[in-house]
Structure 1
Amino acid sequence: MTTQQNDDNQNGQQGNEGNPPAPNNDPTLEEVTADRDRWKAISRQNEANYNSTRTELQQFKDAQQSAIEAAKSEGRTSALGEVSTELVTAELRLQAVSAGAELPSLEFLDLNRFTGDDSRPNSDAVKSFIDSLPKQNSGSGFPHLEGAGHNKGGNGDFASTDPTELADFIAGGSFL
């Protein structure tokens, strides 16, 4: 090999001796246009797929949210249904005490009659029932005691707080 051929081989160039020229690989205008149109169609299809998937995802999210709200509502209703009799009993007792009415035995009452549509106590139904009950004595349950309270009563003859004088006064002077 000659020095020039070595230099050409080192520079990465091959000699064209005996090799036919390489065919031209440049695409034609029709091929480029067809390739562009193919990629446009693929892009439009991907965009349509994205939009439909996004719409479907939003529908799933909406359905999931409504299912969560329905489950919460059902749970609340179930829990209130379980404790509704206790809530009605408490409401009946509270309003009876406030109105000064004597509440009959609750075992004979239909407590479901006092619940609303949401399983909570219906205050209006409870109030109308309590208003129909007889009221207790307006006086206190204890008899009035003379001298009770602010030490009212007595004749006011004795005003000393000396213990020996108090003992003489209480005993009427007979023991001390």
Structure 2
Amino acid sequence: MPTADGVTPPPSSDPVSAVESGSELEKWRALSRENEKRWKTASRELEELRQEQMTDQEKAVAQARADARQEALAELATSLTEAEIRAQAASAGVTVKTEYLDLGRFLGEDGRPDTELVAQFVAGHTPASVQPEFPRLMGAGYHRGNGGTTSMDPDELVNLITGGKII
């Protein structure tokens, strides 16, 4: 809540104390989220102040721009979301089919893809397993040099079968 002079005081909860027992990474993530919240709040307040000082004509132009931006985002939102899913899936080594997904579920409040939701979705898929290599079977197809025979000569085949011993 802004005070009488229009300045928003910093939040009362200290994010560092909330995650002191956690890892260093979690501490920095919490600080980053807190700073992002502050930035969004400050941006909203600045936009409200700008709108209060606008004339009616400026307000109409700003509203038309906002409407056009929202319409363009609405047209491209599913394509952006599909691209985000495919990009994160490719980096994770996963194949994800997006044909039957409700891509609107992955949109954030601003109409853009929510990367955290996409990351959670991609993390739920297991990487495609590599096909196991089957042993090469003699007699099943053409094999070079593994059998030790160079021809189908009966004497050579007998020597190969008996290990060179006379029966």
Is this a same-fold pair by TM over 0.5? no
Which of the two has higher C-alpha Rg? Answer: 1
Q: What TM-score range do you get, normalising by the shorter chain? A: 0.3 to 0.5
Report the TM-score, using the length of structure 2 for normalisation.
0.44
Structure with higher helix content = 1
Report the TM-score, using the length of structure 1 for normalisation.
0.42
